[in-house]
Amino acid sequence: MSVAKAIAKINAENTKADMPKFGVGDNVRVHVKIKEGEKERIQAFAGTVIARDGRGSTETFTVRRITFGVGVEKVFPTHSPYLDKVEVERASKVRRAKLYYLRSRSGKQARLREG
């Protein structure tokens, strides 16, 4: 078995098929499984997707939101077993692959066009 076939097989085993289509600029609600001792609960993190990186089983996406006046960003592995589900709340039309410029904007300036 060649290296490329082995990598493709590992990627196929570790990718989720039920992941919804979402892109940069979309407002999403990410439900994450959190382990506390022996208990497990689900916590939601809602915000705007500002970046997507990688491909295959190593793909990640970055979600940003403003909480109590402070910007909070989290990077989630797209195909992680700790990701319960991703809900797309609102789709936006953007012209960039990365929306890092939103870090310096607040209020109405940080709005994205709905698309």
Residue 12: what pLDDT?
A: 79
How would you list the strands of the sheet with 27-36, edge to edge?
70-77, 60-67, 39-53, 27-36, 83-90
Residue 77: what pLDDT?
A: 95
Name all domains of the chain by residue range, CATH numbers in brackets.
3-110 (2.30.30.790)
Written as tens digits, the pLDDT of the chain (115 aa) is 788 888 888 877 777 788 889 999 999 999 999 999 999 999 999 999 999 999 888 899 999 999 998 999 999 999 999 999 999 999 999 999 999 999 998 888 888 888 7
Residue 6: what pLDDT?
A: 84
91: which DSSP letter?
A: -
| Pair 47, 64: CB distance under 8 Å | yes
48 burial type by CB count under 10 A (0-12 exposed, 13-18 middle, 19+ buried): buried
20: which DSSP letter?
A: P
